[in-house]
Structures are given as structure tokens and as C-alpha cells.
Amino acid sequence: MTACRKGWPHAGAGIAVLRSATELTPTEEFVEFAHAAAPRLRRTAFLLCGDWHTAEDLCQSALAKVFVSWRRIRRRDAAYAYATRTLVNTHLADLRLKRVDEVLTGRVPDRPAGRGHRPGTGCSC
């Protein structure tokens, strides 16, 4: 297990430079976390969606949501777990939004899909 700046365990490889907690603002603390966690989150996102470009977008969206909630995360050792859960939730929300209820085909159907449909009457009697 490698620990990088601010002692972020399991967040990925990084340069081990420790700074006092009083020297960092919450924004700087998040930036350090994001730099350390982004590669691992990106790999997890790739496993979810199968495309590196989409994985990068998904990772950025998840980190943006984590940044909004950063001051509310009390246990900094659980920040990576929180970010991973946010990544999965973001991916699932995107899947729900992109769900297609229609099946597109390359040809126009010859007749309506319903049985017994009478043209011009509006009912299928």
C-alpha cells in the first residue's frame, strides 16, 4: 500500500510529501486527493463503461460531485470509498438517462405493429 501526500492510503501512487494539516485549505486538500485518486478512479470507470474517453468524463464528473461535498466528508480515510461510490452512482444515472425505449432499424415497416389495426379509424377493433 502506498501513501502519497496527506497520507491518502489506497489512492494510487504519488510522491510522499507530507504537509501539516493547518497549511492546507480544503480546496488544496481536495486537489491533492484528486491527483492521487484520479488514476484509480479512471481505471474503475473504464471497467464500468469499457471506453477510455467515457471513463475520463465519468471520473471528472464524479470528482466534481465529490468536490461539492468535500467539506461534509468527515472521515478523510473514507474519501476514496466515497468517490468510488459517487463514480458508480454517476455511471448508473447516465445509463438511466441514455436508456432507449425504441429499437432503431435500417428499414421502414410495411404495416403497423398492432394486429387488426384499421387505417383511418384510430382503433384496433
pLDDT at 73 over 90: no
What pLDDT does 96 receive? 87
Is the entire prediction scored with pTM above 0.85? no
Reply yes or no on whether the pLDDT at 104 is more than 80: no
With contact defined as beta carbons under 8 Å apart, do 83 and 37 qualify? yes
Query: Residue 113: pLDDT above 70?
Result: no
Alpha-carbon distance 50 to 96, whole Å? 17
Confidence at residue 74, expressed as pLDDT on a 0 to 100 scale:
83
**For the chain, which domains are there?**
25-96 (1.10.1740)
Q: Which residue has the higher pLDDT, 4 or 68?
A: 68
Q: What is the pLDDT of residue 31?
A: 93
The DSSP-derived string for 19-58 is --GGG--HHHHHHHHHHHHHHHHHHHHHHHHS-HHHHHHH
